[in-house]
Each structure stands twice: as structure tokens, then as C-alpha cells.
Amino acid sequence: MVMLAGWWVWRRDWRGGRAAEVNASAIYLSLGTLMLFTFAVFAFVPLPVGYSPVGAVCLPEESVAGIPFAAALVGHYTAGKWKTEIVEYWIVQALILCVVTQVFLMPFSFALYDRMFDAAHLTKIAGYACVFAGLLLNMTRLFKRATSSAAELADINQRLSQSTALVQAKQAQLQGLLDNTSAVIYVKDLDGQYELVNPRFLEIFKLDEADVVGKTDNDLFPKSVADAFRRMDRAVADAGAVVEQEERVPQTDGEHTYISTKFPVYDESGTLT
């Protein structure tokens, strides 16, 4: 009955193409109720005579117990999960043995411990062993999968740590270049706002980083100078290529002329930033 009920619950999920999900509390409650019902039947319901030969059949009522086994066998077999899942394969084997026991062996036992009696019980024990084997093999597979997943995760973490260390090393190299070069280096967004400036920029224009980042040339320089800077920025964005030209910049000691080289910066998707 339990195997038949299990097939009935799982079939809804198998049809939906998703993993079966059952409530553990519902399972325990159902099994407990079934056990209590079974005990009540044995305690209060008069049982039939043990052996009542009817022709070649001595225990015809035993074949009745084969009906739920046969129904469960049909359900599990036609579902086809036994072809790919270890537990389902061994459940089908156990159900076959149980059907054989209840339909073809026990009904033909005429006395305790005769050949058919012994064969029936040995076959039933073999069926229980199949269920146990399926559970054991499935647990072994799950443990192996967990071990493999843990090893893969450790490998991924190691490669991630190596990649992080490499990125940090590259960032340190880049920061060293920005901090120590005599060139003025800065990065602007498409709206002309400064995103990054190096120490040389701050030194030349006598500014602090907080005074520059997030600001535009209009916030830092005279309008004519800011407009000239902006025209060159737009030329770089329009051309999508390196542009080099002279730029005149006012400083505390007068106007200075610089050879300015500007180029576009793209993100990982190839979009101009």
C-alpha cells in the first residue's frame, strides 16, 4: 500500500517534469495511522482460518494482497523512471518479487514451512533486500555526488582566489603607474564628469580629489577653456578613436600648452562609457 501511495503522489510531479516534493510530516502521520489501523484489524477483527484448501489453492486470500503490489508495479513500471533512477529500478524489482510471492507462491502453501511457504518468504525477503539495496546505492551515489560537488567547489574557489589575486596585482600596478607618472591622467563619463584623476592632475591644478570627482570642466575652469575641453571630448566620442591635439590650460603661473591625447573607453559589452 505504501509503494502504491508513493507512486500515486510522485506521478503528479513526474507528469509535470519536476522533482517530487512531499511533506515529511504527512508521510509520518500517514504511516502511523496505517500502522494503528493494522494493529486494530489484527486485534479486533476475526481472522480467517489459516489454511482452507480449495482445490489447488490453499490460501486464496493471500492473492488479494497481491493486488496493491501489482497496481504499484504497473504504475512504477509504466512511469519509466526505473530506466534512469537507481531507487526506482530496485523498487520495481521488489514489486515483481512481491507480486510473485502473493500471487504465485503463498496461495499454494498447504502447511507451515512447506516448500511453497519457504519459497514465498524467501522471495519476500529478497524483495525487501531490493528496496534496501536501492536505498543504499542511491545514498552512495548522493554521497559521491556531494563529494564531487565539494571538490568542484574547492577548485572553483581556488581559481577564484587566484583570479582575485591576479586582478589585485594588476590594480596595484595600474595604481602605481597613475601615482608616479609625470603625465596628467583622468577619466570622464559621457556627460563630461570626472570619474578619476591621478595625483599629477591634482598637483598641477592645485586641487583636491574631492573637488574634482563628479564635477565637469565648467566647474573647474573658465568657460572658454571648458568649452574647448568639451569639444575635444565630443570629437573623441564621435570618432570612437584616439584624438591628439594641443590644449591651452590656465594655471597659477600663467597659461600652459599641453599635447593632449584622448581615447574612448568601452565597457565589457562594447558600449562607450
DSSP state, 84?
T
Strands 243-251 and 254-262: antiparallel
What pLDDT does residue 28 have? 74
What pLDDT does residue 255 have? 87
User: Which DSSP string do the residues of 96-143 spell out, in sequence order?
Assistant: HHHHIIIIIIGGG--STTSHHHHHHHHHHHHHHHHHHHHHHHHHHHHH
Whose CA is closest to 193, among 209, 215, 211?
215
What pLDDT does residue 163 have? 94
What pTM was estimated for this model as a whole? 0.51
Whose CA is closest to 72, among 5, 12, 161?
5
Q: Which long-range contacts (CB under 8 A, 24 or more apart) does 17-20 make?
A: none
Report how far residue 106's alpha carbon sits from residue 113's, in angstroms, rounded to the nearest whole number: 11
**Whats the size of the chain, residue-wise?**
273
Whose CA is closest to 33, among 7, 75, 1?
1
Question: Which residues, in sequence order, are CB contacts of 240 under 8 Å at separation 6+?
Answer: 264, 272
What pLDDT does residue 139 have? 92
What pLDDT does residue 49 have? 60
What pLDDT does residue 75 have? 85
**Burial tier of 193 (Cβ tally within 10 Å: 0-12, 13-18, 19+):** middle
41-54 tens-digit pLDDT: 878 887 666 556 66
What pLDDT does residue 192 have? 94
Report how far residue 164's alpha carbon sits from residue 37's, in angstroms, rounded to the nearest whole number: 63
What pLDDT does residue 210 have? 92
Positions of the chain with pLDDT under 50? none
State the amino acid at position 198 in one-letter form: N
How many CB atoms neighbour CB 236 within 10 A?
19
